[in-house]
């Protein structure tokens, strides 16, 4: 198994293998020194690691808006316990905010009587500020 402790973007480099061992080198190291002895000379360097962090972790959760299509009310359900209490914002397809509510219990239905027939997008946020996007269709009763 080969494991690397650092990763860097370099313009050149190679892995060298011989009877007495192996080594790798890169061109473009940020710092280096030379070690010299009676049998030879070796240079070694330090690479600047590149670490990439993202807050956009793609988490796949099962969520459900039901019934869909809906006429009178809709319920939100998720398998993530952090969504037991949630906030939502409801938009039409033109991006206009139509309804917004905070601290909703997952068991409470969301009334749709004031909405006209059409397609809607609901953004649901939990206590960790994770957000799910759900679409549903409102039909006439």
Fold of 63-138: Immunoglobulin-like (2.60.40)
Report the DSSP pairing between strands 97-105 and 85-92: antiparallel
pLDDT at 82: 86
Rg (CA), the chain: 29
Instruction: Show me where the domains of the chain are located.
Output: 1-52, 63-138
Q: What is the mean pLDDT, run by run of 10 residues, along the chain of 141 residues?
A: 46 64 58 68 53 47 80 89 92 94 93 94 89 89 85
The pTM score is 0.56
pLDDT at 38: 80
pLDDT at 32: 54
Residue 136 to residue 54: CA distance in whole angstroms: 30
């Amino acid at each position: 198994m080969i494991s690397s402790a650092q990763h860097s973007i370099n313009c050149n480099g190679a892995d060298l293998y011989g009877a007495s061992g192996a080594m790798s080198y890169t061109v473009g190291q940020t710092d280096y020194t030379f070690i010299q002895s009676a049998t030879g000379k070796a240079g070694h360097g330090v690479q600047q690691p590149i670490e990439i962090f993202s807050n956009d972790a793609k988490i796949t959760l099962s969520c459900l808006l039901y019934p869909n299509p809906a006429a009178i009310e809709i319920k939100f359900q998720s398998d993530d316990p952090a969504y037991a209490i949630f906030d939502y914002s409801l938009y039409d397809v033109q991006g206009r905010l139509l309804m917004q509510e905070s601290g909703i219990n997952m068991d409470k239905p969301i009334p749709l009587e004031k909405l006209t027939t059409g397609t809607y997008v609901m953004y649901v946020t939990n206590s960790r500020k994770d957000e799910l996007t759900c679409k549903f269709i409102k039909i006439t009763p």
